[in-house]
């Protein structure tokens, strides 16, 4: 079964949420895909702090779960207010979940803080594969994150991603 909205947006049936369950288990080989509009190769992107800042907002950033979708599905538009092809020229990156789950200790203002990245499966109506990565410090999700904290999370994520498709 596929809903009317998915049908109109050209979303494939496997991405239509309907009654599908939340799957908060992530396998060893599970990947998370994210789209972005930054032009350049993997090396260009990793070398530019500005680009990393644009890709990783550190605000419950959206990803797609690889076991439920194809890599380029993040380029499908599920918002009826935008043109259908709005994301087609975007780039796609991937992150290995097993890397994500390694805890990192980083020094912030002389304190050693524990940085954890927690993937959550949060399906939306027209994107069953939708996930968020929640950023925890000492096990807690900080609503307001000071720059010193977001800088560390960007450093962690900026090191572990790989390019699937370059933006054009
Ligand atoms: Zn649907």
For residue 90, give the nearest of 10, 32, 165, 15 by alpha carbon.
165
Residue 83 has pLDDT above 80, yes or no: yes
Looking at 24-129, list the stretches that DSSP marks H as alpha helix, in order from N- to C-terminal side: 42-47, 49-55, 97-100
pLDDT band at 143 (very low <50, low <70, confident <90, very high): confident
Percent of the chain with pLDDT over 70: 100
Of 96 and 103, which is predicted with more confidence?
Answer: 96
Half-sphere exposure of 168 (CA within 13 A, CB side): 5
Q: Percent of the chain scored above 90 by pLDDT?
A: 89
Residue 23 Cα to ligand 1 midpoint, Å, equals 18
User: Residue 1: is its pLDDT beyond 90?
Assistant: no
pLDDT at 4 over 80: yes
CA distance 124 to 131: 9
pLDDT at 109 over 90: no
Total number of domains constituting the chain: 1
The predicted pLDDT at position 120 comes to 97
Bridge partners, 163 (sequence order)? 93
Q: How far is the CA of 73 from the centre of ligand 1 (A)?
A: 14
Residue range(s) defining the domain that contains residue 132: 4-165
pLDDT surpasses 90 at 85 = yes
Mean of all residue pLDDT scores within the chain: 94
Among residues 59, 119, 69, 78, the alpha carbon closest in space to that of 95 is found at 119
Centre of ligand 1 to C-alpha 166, Å, is 28
Ligand 1 midpoint to CA 120 (Å): 20
Q: What's residue 73's pLDDT?
A: 98
pLDDT at 142 (0 to 100)? 76
- 130 C-alpha to center of ligand 1: Å? 13
Query: Averaged over 35-40, what is the pLDDT?
Result: 97
Residues in contact with 147: Cβ distance below 8 Å, sequence separation at least 6, in sequence order: none
Which pLDDT band holds residue 75 (cuts at 50, 70, 90)? very high
CB 166 within 8 A of CB 98: no
pLDDT class of 102 with cuts at 50, 70, 90: confident
């Amino acid at each position: 079964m596929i809903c009317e909205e998915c049908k109109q947006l050209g979303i494939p049936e496997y991405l239509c949420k309907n009654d599908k369950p939340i799957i908060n288990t992530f396998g060893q080989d599970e990947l998370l895909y994210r789209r972005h509009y930054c032009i350049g190769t993997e090396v260009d992107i990793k070398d530019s702090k500005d680009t990393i800042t644009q890709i990783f907002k550190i605000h419950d950033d959206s990803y797609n779960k690889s076991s439920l979708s194809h890599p380029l599905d993040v380029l499908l538009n599920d918002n009826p207010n935008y043109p259908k092809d709005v994301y087609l020229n975007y780039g796609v990156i991937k992150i290995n979940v097993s890397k994500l789950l390694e805890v990192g200790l980083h020094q912030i203002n002389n304190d050693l803080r524990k940085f954890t990245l927690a993937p959550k499966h949060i399906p939306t109506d027209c994107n069953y594969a939708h996930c968020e990565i929640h950023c925890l410090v000492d096990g807690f999700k900080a609503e307001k994150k000071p720059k010193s904290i977001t800088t560390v999370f960007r450093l962690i994520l900026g090191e572990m991603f790989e390019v699937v498709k370059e933006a054009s």
